[in-house]
Structure 1
Amino acid sequence: MAMQTLTTLITGLAGLALASLATTASAQEEDDPMEPRWSFAIHGGAGTLTRSDMTPEQDAAFRAALQEALDAGSEILGNGGTAMDAVTAAIVIMEDNPRFNAGKGAVFTWEGTNELDAAVMDGRTRAAGAVTGVKTVKNPILLALEVMKDGRHVFLSGAGAEEFAGEHGLELVDPSYFATEWRRMSLERMKVEKISALDVDIKFGTVGAVALDLEGNVAAGTSTGGMTGKRWGRIGDAPIIGAGTYADNRDCAVSATGDGEYFIRAGVARSICLGLRFAWESTRKASGEPLSADEVQAVADAVMADVEVLGGTGGVIVVSPFGPAVFSFNTEGMYRGRATSEGTNEVAIYDDEK
């Protein structure tokens, strides 16, 4: 029954992709699909993001932060570096920037601590590493990377993950390093006014990156502090392989941000990749032609529509071997950026910048 349900879902996604192709005038890129090229995308959270939420100075600061991370990954890819190196370099920059909910600047748990999650996946081998509930590792994404490289396990948590970090020479910091006053104020407001995390945070500040390198390999990474006021060791989708993070050279790399509980239930990242694989194998494999950007977008949009049906909000970034990266989100905005070897280089925040 589970396999039948999955097959039905994938078939529906492929149908949506084909319908989108038939009703849009967008053409395939004129580039030779066999020519080596790279593509890169990042996100810094999705949610209620309107121009009235931020001053022009805040808007500019967020765009500059996104551009810095985007440029770091793009430079690596442009110089022939690996997709994984590009992904981790960009995420480290965002983890170190207190404007995002990852690393320094992470939200507070109900108990007033900062508990961090991260994951990476290499599409070439489908090796993966993930960590959750760490409190002293300066850059959780680098810890997830070490877990992947070590290879004995995929997912480590809490004290064990921190012990592993120490044994592998990762930089450890006092837990106070991650705290910022405005995040603490969000927690206090939540407690006093008895409101939800969605009411105190104007965005889901999870950060992530996806990349396609010149060797045709894809990679994905995601890092987060979770939700304001989370309790009982709550874990969201970001460190869960197949939900918030996934990469497979056969189809795509995905990083997600949003209501983690719904992204877990929908298996968002894996569903998008399976949808793309089915769409390609059923419509393009015989000719060797890549999927169009519109078809990739349609598959991502279909999975995000499923999340919305469940009651969840958020967004994804997707890069595939078929062409440029795409964004899909069902919120008023998402901090995002993308760049390609063909010259695309852009950052955006609001939904009307699509």
Structure 2
Amino acid sequence: MKKLIYMCVALVAFASCDMPVKERSTDTAQTDNRAPEEKFGIVIHGGAGTILKKNMSDSLEAAYKAKLEEAIQVGHKILASGGTSMEAVTATINIMEDSPLFNAGKGAVFTHDGTNELDASVMDGKTLNAGAISGVTTVKNPINLAVAVMDKSEHVMLSAKGAEQFAAEQGLEIVDPKYFYTERRFQSLQHIIDKEKTELDHDGDKKVSFVDPFIKDSKFGTVGCAALDKYGNLAAGTSTGGMTNKRYNRIGDAPIIGSGTYANNATCAVSSTGWGEFFIRAQVAHDISAMMEYKGVSLQEAASEVIQKKVPALGGDGGIVAIDKDGNIAMEFNTAGMYRAHMNADGELTVGIYKK
């Protein structure tokens, strides 16, 4: 009789120990398949810099606004239909990469040697997985390659010929480098070469900076997007042609996770645009997320602290667009203007170019 009692007690104990495991498994399944919420949003940028009304024709201003609206509408439609934040980010950036208006893809600026070297990165806020590429010259849509690196490889960043080989293996669209040529960007290169003022300057504080005033005062046309989908997942992506007249395969902040792009479901998703050397040193995108996580400040407070104080203190300028886990957005910049747009879950659209 005692043996039977002991066996019963043991069976009950075993069942009791097993129950929490099953409950956790059930909770996980519910999390992965939870019903979508009507809380989502998307925000984009097309570059920050000295963008002044007096230097902009009515037709060019209208063209920029139309392309920004077209791009963000594509991403918003994906989100509204239950698509993922990463799908929205990728499709939105594709529109800007295919436009000669922006310094990414078709409209990329020229290097000192007269070529176009493209960089891009993406990050998934749910998994903290990321992908990045740099120095590619034949991939039509660099952001697609960054996504492929994230999803189809064990790596985070690939560069140059190796990245192009991987792109071909993944079936991405490859183009002749001539595809990226635009007369406007080529003339910008000639203007800088004629000036011959790109150099390094070491000041009294041992800071290093580019001092070419044409570069410092020009528009940074990097494109980027940050989105929150109905499932509470954040994603961000950034794509660029880099800096006009860049040498030695220079790489800026756009393809660097934590500098040009960062996303974390616990905080926010960020895409940067600006003077890359300073955004790398300030780790702009991650710094905004870290301030939210460790100090408990809002997205706007964190963005303002980094863009209005930290970056200028180093000598750099530029801006960011970001969205947090609750759908709040920030479009912060310390330059005269930034091409930008935002849409919320209600479909309300905001498009801006100048500071005011």
TM (normalized to structure 2)?
0.84
What SS does the corresponding residue of 2:270 show, helix, strand or coil? strand
Q: Report the equivalent of 2:209.
A: none
Q: Does 1:328 align with 2:338?
A: no
Matched residue type, 1:116: L
* 1:188 matched residue in structure 2: 190
Which residue of the partner structure matches residue 199 of structure 1? 214
Match of 1:350 in 2: 354
Alignment of 1:299-318 (within 5 A): 299-304=302-307, 305-318=309-322
- Cα distance between partner residues in 1 of 2:293 and 2:347: 27
Equivalent residue, structure 1, for 2:276: 260
Q: How many residues align?
A: 306
Give 1:140 deviation, angstroms: 0.3
* Deviations 1:266-311, CA, capped at 9 Å, x for gaps: 011000001111243xxxxxxxxxx7xxx32111010112001000
Show the 5 A alignment for 1:116-155. 116-155=118-157
Deviation at 1:323, TM superposition (A): 2.9
| 1:192 Cα deviation from its structure 2 partner | 0.8
Partners of 1:86 and 1:148 lie apart in 2 by 16
Equivalences for 1:153-172 in 2 at 5 Å? 153-172=155-174
Return the index of the structure with the highest Cα Rg: 2
User: 2 CA distance for matches of 1:343 and 1:67?
Assistant: 12
SS at match of 1:315: strand
Q: In 2, distance between residues paired with 1:189 and 1:276?
A: 42
CA RMSD of aligned residues (A): 1.4
Secondary structure (helix, strand or coil) at the match of 1:112 reads coil
4+ long deviations beyond 3 Å: 195-198
2-structure distance, mates of 1:237, 1:299: 19
8 Å contact kept, 1:119–1:223: yes
Aligned partner of residue 104 in structure 1, secondary structure: helix
Q: 2:53, 2:259 → 1: CA distance?
A: 30
What SS class does the counterpart of residue 91 from structure 2 fall into?
helix
After superposing the two structures, state which structure 1 stretch, 335-344 or 97-106, moved more: 335-344
- Asked whether the equivalents of residues 228 and 327 of structure 2 are also in contact (C-alpha less than 8 Å), the reply is no
Q: Distance in 1 between matches of 2:55 and 2:300?
A: 28
Distance 1:198 1:152, change over 3 A: farther
Decide whether the 8 Å contact of 2:268 with 2:299 is kept in 1: no
Aligned counterparts of 1:152 and 1:296: Cα–Cα separation in 2 = 31
1:283 corresponds in structure 2 to none
Residue of structure 1 aligned with 2:253, choices 234, 237, 249: 237
Does the 8 Å CA contact 2:37/2:231 hold for their aligned counterparts? no
Question: What displacement does 1:99 show?
Answer: 0.4
TM-score, normalised via structure 1 length:
0.84
Distance 1:125 1:63 in 2: 34
- Quote the residue 1:296 is aligned against: 299
Structure 1 CA distance, aligned partners of 2:227 and 2:257? 17
CA displacement, residues 316-345 of structure 1 (integer Å, 9 cap, x when unaligned): 011101232111100000000000103421
In structure 1, C-alpha distance between the alignment counterparts of 2:190 and 2:339, rounded to whole Å: 25
- Check conservation: 1:76, 1:82, Cα contact below 8 A: yes
TM superposition shift of 1:35: 5.4
Deviation at 1:195, TM superposition (A): 4.0
Shift of 1:150: 1.3
Letter in structure 2 aligned against 1:139: N
DSSP-derived class of the 2:166 partner: helix
How far has the Cα of 1:80 moved from its partner? 0.8
- AA aligned to 1:319 is I
Contact 2:299 2:328 in 1 (8 A): no
1:269 aligns with 2:271: no
Within the candidate set 226, 238, 263, 1:247 is matched to 263
- 8 Å Cα contact 1:36/1:216 also seen in 2: no
Is 1:338 the counterpart of 2:342 in the alignment? yes
Q: Which amino acid aligns with 2:187?
A: M
Cα offset, 1:60, TM superposition: 0.4
Q: Is the 8 A contact 2:261 2:270 kept in 1?
A: yes
Distance 1:104 1:195 in 2: 27
Q: Indicate whether 1:43 and 2:59 are aligned.
A: no
Gaps of 5+ in 1: 1-33, 281-290
Q: Secondary structure at the match of 2:106?
A: coil
Residue 267 to residue 89, structure 1, CA distance change in 2 (3 Å): same
Q: Deviations over 1:92-122 (max 9, x none)?
A: 0000000000000100000000000000000
Name the amino acid aligned to 2:333.
F
| Aligned position for 1:22 | none
